[in-house]
A and B are shown apart, each in its own frame.
Chain A
Amino acid sequence: MLSRVRLIAWDTFLDVARHKMLTVHLVFVCISLGLFNLFGHFSTTPTLEYRMIQDIGLSIISLFGFLIALFIGSTTLRDEIQRKTVYAVLTLPMGRWELYTGKFLGTLLAAIVNVLVMLGILIGLLFLKYGVLWTGFHWVALFMLFEFAIMTAMVLLFSLADSLIVCFSLSIFFVLLGNMAQHVQHLAIEAGIPLLSWLVDVVYWIVPNFGYFNIKHKILKDFAISPSFALWAGGYAACYLFFLLVAGSWAFRKKDL
């Protein structure tokens, strides 16, 4: 059972690895990370310049990480259904959840590898320019793993919709909402309308709060990330992931192919 999931995940990863889109992404990220050096010229001190490059670099990686999760997650299962290759797999005596989970893991692996490559490029550039090795990057990588795991599972779930536009719209909407969850809740409280507050509370519990995984401000200010906070964030991500995978597997099982 698990070996089948592993096989499907690896096959998905290999398929994704051949996507030209990823190469384009990586080239674009390299150019972007190179261009941000320009911003350094506006800063007054080397420390500030270093922080600016870190800040913009992490933002670019986050954005491209999301785009990769969005493009791969929305097409991996949909393409298999349209190409009918999914029929060859699903007529084996296996559950649809195995294919779904394998697709998720393969997509996540591809997204993580890409993010790690981008992080590596950023760390390399910072080292080349300042001769300082950024040691706190593993926390960034870990929290990005949590964030992209949820994003990938969410996109994969929405990819079961019949329309690609619906999938894109829902994914972008939920990611934006998830990034602004605390602000939206705060605004609702400030508005003082009970029904609105209640509605926002409901949405707050449904939509994952991506703010928990955004540790950029802590990294930039050299604040320490406590293992307990990382554990809490990991647990939070695992809960959402479990819910999203169960919901996705259920929806995929019910889908007429």
Chain B
Amino acid sequence: MRELVVAEEITKLVGWWKKETIVDRVSLTLHEGEIMGLLGPNGAGKTTTMKMLLGLTSITSGSARMFGASVPSAASRVGVGFLPEAIQHPDHLTVHEYVRFHARLSGLSDGEPLIEEYLRRVGMWESRDRLLVECSKGMRQRADIARLLIRQARLIFLDEPFSGLDPCGQVMLKELLVSLKKQNIAVLVNSHAAGILADVCDRVSIMDRGRIILGDSLEKLLRTSRTKVVARFSDVAAATTFVAARSSLAHRLEGADTAEFILDDPTALRELIRAILAADATLAEVTPVTLTLDQLFVRVLTGRDSVVTGGNA
């Protein structure tokens, strides 16, 4: 797959006298048809990273290329679209006029058939004559997606697109992102909404204090070395006795006769399975433990493990 974005150690410093680092040596790549999430708390530098790539803010050091052209040249923005967070749309334009304005700015002088096609695709054709200020946030976002699509954007930057959207709007946007991916359009999306990113992203990078502290494919990120073992015993007493003899292992008594163990060590796993079988218990489940993106996010940022309870639960 073609690399659309390549950023190498881009850094942003601000301030005249006392320099403050907003983005610190961030490197990332984004391929065609890939959805990448930038996840991080407020002030992590996600939006500034996007702005640097889009040429809206200068890069203090490091370099970036988009579509092979160096940032911030105009050539690097051919085929790029950006949907900023909390954009306040012009109050004098209707949905149709807004999309037409951007179509014309993009050089589409006779773009009416395309405008209709894309407004229909995002479900805004019926509302084309409504003033943007009269539209809901979800409708305005759909109009913006049409604005991006009409200029045949191959790479779309979305900054906190899910904030302020109701559940229906979020589902609609997720579906739209998946449909963009099917069209081989790459998307870089900034968000705090880890749960939503997990549903749509191929890769996620977690940012904090200007740095990418973790980044990989979602599958690899959520994978852990831990294994969950669930055993079902003949009665409560057997379960309690078995667990009491292995109190050093992370465990939890589930219901009356079921015990759940979480193990890091493969040797301990083998021994535990043998012991369970020897105790005439049923091995109900042996599965690798995966994290949710929310759990990974909390773990990475706070060092606190919210997924597994250690010792007695």
Contacts and interface: CB of A to CB of B under 8 A. Distances in A.
A100 to B, nearest CB: 15
Interface in B76-124: 77-78, 80-92, 101-102, 104-106, 109
Contact of B81 (A90, A91, A254): A91
B92 A15 contact: yes
A87 B83 CA distance: 8
B57 A256 contact: yes
* Chain A interface SS verdict (over half): helix
Contacts of B77: 91-93
Q: How large is the interface on A (under 10, 10 to 19, 20 to 34, 35 or more residues)?
A: 20 to 34
A89 interface: yes
A84 B86 contact: yes
Contacts of A82: 88
Contact of B92 (A14, A95, A256): A14
A88 B56 contact: no
B90 A85 contact: yes
B87 A92 contact: no
A91 B54 contact: yes
Contacts of B106: 92
A85 B143 CA distance: 13
Contacts of B192: none
Contacts of A18: 91-92
B78 A84 contact: no
A1 B161 CA distance: 31
Given A93-B75, A94-B74, A256-B58, A87 B105 contact: no
B226 interface: no
Contact of A93 (B14, B56, B78): B78
Given A7-B101, A7-B105, A91 B56 contact: yes
B70 to A, nearest CB: 13
Given A84-B84, A95-B74, A256-B58, A89 B92 contact: no
A257 interface: yes
B62 interface: no
Nearest to A257: B56
Contacts of A93: 74-75, 77-78, 80
A138 B14 CA distance: 51
Nearest to B90: A85
B147 interface: yes
B55 interface: yes
A67 B102 CA distance: 31
A87 B84 contact: yes
Contacts of B142: none
Given A91-B80, A91-B82, A85 B89 contact: yes
Nearest to B87: A84
Given A87-B84, A91-B82, A257-B51, A4 B105 contact: yes
Interface of B: 14, 51, 54-58, 74-75, 77-78, 80-92, 101-102, 104-106, 109, 144, 147, 151, 157
11 contacts: A7-B104, A11-B101, A14-B92, A15-B92, A87-B87, A88-B87, A89-B105, A91-B82, A92-B106, A93-B75, A94-B105
Interface of A: 3-4, 7-8, 11, 14-15, 18, 82-85, 87-95, 254, 256-257
Given A83-B89, A254-B58, 17 more contacts: A3-B109, A14-B92, A15-B90, A84-B87, A84-B88, A85-B88, A87-B56, A87-B84, A88-B87, A89-B105, A93-B74, A93-B75, A94-B74, A95-B74, A256-B14, A256-B57, A257-B51
Closest 6 CB pairs of A and B: A83-B88, A91-B82, A93-B74, A84-B87, A84-B84, A256-B57
